[in-house]
């Protein structure tokens, strides 16, 4: 249990501050100073601890999935066809970074839905834990259980720890209504992720 806790702590604390000079810097600054969640920046990287997995190429069909959700029914990529979809992988429910990320996506959920986009969170947590997590934080988007980490692996988002198991690394993807992967985020800051992804989503939906 102690080893598991250490590994999950390392995985869940991955925070990258790479958007300081972005056009959405004012929004990021506002979020950074908000009380929605507080995550201390970390210089640690999973790249130094675990093998790096390649992400699926952008502008190719997104890897399919069909996973049980917190509601008890399955959610598949096919069932999301015709909609823009944000799929974000996170290590473990109720940890600091994952809670922060989920709260921020919930805070911005109406904005995403206003553009016709669905949000889907995926981790290796069991369905029962996802139900508790969703209820406690009032989340209105589906959380899927990738218990064996197969979908996380297909998205280059799996961390395999010998003798402990497979966990989802924090990575985010934007998929268009045709099921094509349009953008991927390898280094994800849980506090800023939803703002950065929403800005990119609008850019993809309204190309110049």
β-partners of residue 166 are: 160
How many other CB atoms are there within 10 angstroms of residue 187's CB atom?
14
- Report the distance separating Cα 164 and Cα 185, nearest Å: 26
Is 98 known to be catalytic? yes
CB 91 within 8 A of CB 171: no
Choosing from 37, 98, 100, 117, which is the catalytic residue?
98
Identify the helix (H) or strand (E) that includes residue 1: none
CB 192 within 8 A of CB 97: no
Sign of CA pseudo-dihedral 70, 16, 11, 168:
positive
Q: Give me the active site residues, please.
A: 98
């Amino acid at each position: 249990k102690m080893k598991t806790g250490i590994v999950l702590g390392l995985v869940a604390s991955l925070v990258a501050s790479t958007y300081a000079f972005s056009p959405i810097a004012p929004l990021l600054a506002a979020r950074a100073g908000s009380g929605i969640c507080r995550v201390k920046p970390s210089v640690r990287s999973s790249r130094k601890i675990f093998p790096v997995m390649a992400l699926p190429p952008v502008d190719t069909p997104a890897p399919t999935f069909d996973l049980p959700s917190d509601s008890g029914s399955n959610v598949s990529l096919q069932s999301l066809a015709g909609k823009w979809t944000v799929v974000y992988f996170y290590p473990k429910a109720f940890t600091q970074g994952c809670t922060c990320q989920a709260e921020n996506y919930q805070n911005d959920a109406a904005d995403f839905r206003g553009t016709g986009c669905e949000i889907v969170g995926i981790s290796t947590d069991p369905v029962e834990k996802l139900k508790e997590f969703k209820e406690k934080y009032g989340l209105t988007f589906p959380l899927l259980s990738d218990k064996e980490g197969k979908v996380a692996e297909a998205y280059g988002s799996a961390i395999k720890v010998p003798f402990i198991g497979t966990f989802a690394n924090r990575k985010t993807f934007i998929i268009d209504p045709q099921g094509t992967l349009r953008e991927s985020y390898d280094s994800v800051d849980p506090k800023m992720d939803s703002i950065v992804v929403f800005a990119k989503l609008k850019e993809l939906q309204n190309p110049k």
